[in-house]
């Protein structure tokens, strides 16, 4: 019969592993060296002090998450130029991705930034054309369903067709809004 243990192995008992990152670790090591402190002991003393003084997490500055929303109005102001340096491999990858998606280099970078900020898709020319074609087909289906509903006498069929027509119209509106968002430079609000 196997025994199970709920205790941590002795080598891990009481230990916490924290990844400070290279820059913060160097700064911490230097701070401790300047004061003649052992880094692990100094960190333990800080934790003990926080616990004994009842320090609240709200007193610790934690960076806020940035919330970006797309407004209903186009951004009409002058464009702001920024210089961005890419490694040769990043440059080649961006160029290839931009060409494959029907974007120019700059448009692809802008679309990627906007997609990251707004967590919404950005469409290349091929996607815009496919969505346009799909939307046109769906709009025609909605028109055909509406005509069938008006011709049909049975209420059950008419109600079912009305529901399908409504669903298709919602799809058309949603796709149209998504296409407009991907095609225009809408104003963002932080």
The answer to whether residue 5 is domain-embedded is: no
Burial 156-175 (b: 16+ CB within 10 A, else e): eeeeebeeebeebbebbeeb
55 and 80 share one domain: no
37 and 125 share one domain: no
73 and 26 share one domain: no
The answer to whether residue 3 is domain-embedded is: no
The answer to whether residue 49 is domain-embedded is: yes
The answer to whether residue 6 is domain-embedded is: no
Q: Is the pLDDT at 16 greater than 60, yes or no?
A: yes
Q: Is the pLDDT at 171 greater than 60, yes or no?
A: yes
**22 falls in which pLDDT band (50, 70, 90)?**
confident
> What is the percent of the chain where pLDDT is above 90?
3
Query: Which residues are bridge partners to 70 per DSSP?
Result: 188
- The pLDDT of residue 95 is 92
* Structural domain boundaries, residue 30: 21-59
CB 53 within 8 A of CB 171: no
Q: Is the pLDDT at 180 greater than 80, yes or no?
A: no
The rounded distance, in Å, linking the Cα atoms of 163 and 170 is: 11
Q: Is the pLDDT at 9 greater than 50, yes or no?
A: no
The rounded distance, in Å, linking the Cα atoms of 117 and 134 is: 27
83 and 177 share one domain: yes
From 29, 59, 89, the end of a domain falls on: 59
106 and 129 share one domain: yes
Q: Is the pLDDT at 156 greater than 80, yes or no?
A: no
81 and 147 share one domain: yes
Q: Is the pLDDT at 107 greater than 80, yes or no?
A: yes
Structural domain total, the chain: 2
Global confidence as pTM = 0.43
Per-residue pLDDT tens for 117-139?
A: 877 777 767 777 878 888 888 88
75 and 160 share one domain: yes
- The pLDDT of residue 31 is 84
Across 11-156, where does the E strand assignment appear? Answer: 69-74
The answer to whether residue 99 is domain-embedded is: yes
């Amino acid at each position: 019969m196997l025994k199970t243990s709920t205790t941590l192995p002795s080598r891990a008992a009481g230990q916490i592993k924290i990844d400070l990152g290279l820059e913060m670790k160097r700064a911490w090591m230097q701070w401790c060296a300047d004061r003649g402190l052992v880094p692990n002991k100094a960190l333990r003393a800080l934790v003990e002090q926080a616990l004994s003084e009842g320090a609240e997490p709200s007193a610790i500055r934690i960076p806020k998450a940035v919330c970006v929303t797309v407004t209903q109005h186009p951004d009409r102001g002058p464009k702001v130029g920024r210089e961005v340096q890419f490694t040769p491999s990043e440059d080649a990858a961006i160029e290839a991705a931009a060409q494959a998606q029907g974007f120019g280099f700059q448009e692809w970078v802008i679309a990627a930034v906007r997609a990251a900020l707004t967590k919404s898709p950005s469409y290349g020319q091929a996607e815009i054309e496919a969505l346009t074609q799909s939307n046109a087909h769906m709009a025609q289906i909605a028109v055909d369903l509406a005509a069938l509903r008006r011709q049909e006498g049975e209420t059950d069929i008419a109600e079912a067709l009305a529901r399908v027509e409504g669903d298709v119209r919602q799809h058309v509106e949603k796709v149209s809004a998504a296409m407009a968002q991907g095609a225009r430079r809408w104003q963002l609000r932080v």
